[in-house]
Structure 1
Amino acid sequence: MPLTLTLTEGVLPLGTEKLAVAQITDAFLKHHGLTGNETMRANITANVHVLPRDATFSGGRNFAGAWVEWKVPSFALAERKVQQGFFAEATSIIHDLSGGVQPKEHIYVNVVHAVDGGWNFNGQAMTNGEIVAEITKG
């Protein structure tokens, strides 16, 4: 389940991107009740994009932002309580790692859901039910 972390350069101190990915991954697992589930952890991937200040915009004008985006099966990040808890924690992670400098209102968290069966898990296309069965193995 890929996490894409996109940052305007300078939002986080250089080198803290890895810590951000680790903390956001842990928060995702925690809010889904999957802390310690190695099957799930192994299937969370991430990539980080740090963009120059002149390449990030709000309202058509340059600004410094942070974007936390997940691509997940439709059952992940689907419950409102999970969304609220995780989104708040992910926002706080970026804010805290920025030294409190990055405004929370310029940290964006979103999720993109895949259609059932349109997911590659453990090297093969799986339905939501098949993925849940794998995750249940721990």
Structure 2
Amino acid sequence: MPLTLMLTEGVLPKGSEKIAIAKITDSMLKWHGLVDHPVMKPNITAAFHILPQGSTFSGGKEISGAWIEWKVPAFAFTEREVQVGFGRDASEIVRELSGFKLPKDNIYINVVHAVDGLWNFNGEPMTNAEIGAAISS
């Protein structure tokens, strides 16, 4: 389940991106009841991208911001409690790491539900049902 964290340059102190990735990953697992799960935790992947000043916008106007995007199976992030809890956690993680300089209004979160059947766990494409079975075992 890939996490992409995109940040305008200077939003977080250099090097703290790794801390943000770890904390956001842990929050996602926490809200799905999968903390330290032996199948799920190693299948949460992530990348961060630092975007140059002057290249990020909201409403057509230049801003400094943070974008958190997940690509997950259709069964993830479906419960409202999980959506709200994770959204609050992730926003607070970024705000805290920014030294509370980044306004909440400039933190954006979205989730993309991926096509079933091509999740690659251990080199094998898996369906949502197969992932569910692996998580349950």
- Is the TM value for this pair above 0.5? yes
Offset at residue 19 of structure 1 (A) = 0.2
1:83 corresponds in structure 2 to 83
Q: Distance in 1 between matches of 2:31 and 2:59?
A: 32
2:52 corresponds in structure 1 to 52
Q: Distance in 1 between matches of 2:82 and 2:123?
A: 27
Q: Distance in 2 between matches of 1:81 and 1:7?
A: 26
Aligned pairs, how many? 137
Offset at residue 127 of structure 1 (A) = 1.1
Q: Deviations over 1:44-68 (max 9, x none)?
A: 0000000101111111121101000
TM-score normalized by the length of structure 1: 0.95
Give identity over the alignment, percent.
61
Residue 107 of structure 2 corresponds to residue 107 of structure 1: yes
**Alignment gaps of 5+ in structure 2:** none
1:73 corresponds in structure 2 to 73
Aligned residue runs from structure 1 range 1-138, under 5 A:
1-137=1-137
Q: Deviations over 1:62-97 (max 9, x none)?
A: 110100000000001111111110011000000010
CA RMSD, Structure 1 to Structure 2 (Å)? 1.0
Moved over 3 A (4+): none
**Alignment gaps of 5+ in structure 1:** none
Q: Which amino acid aligns with 1:38?
A: P
Q: Deviations over 1:18-43 (max 9, x none)?
A: 00000000000000001120210100
Offset at residue 104 of structure 1 (A) = 0.6
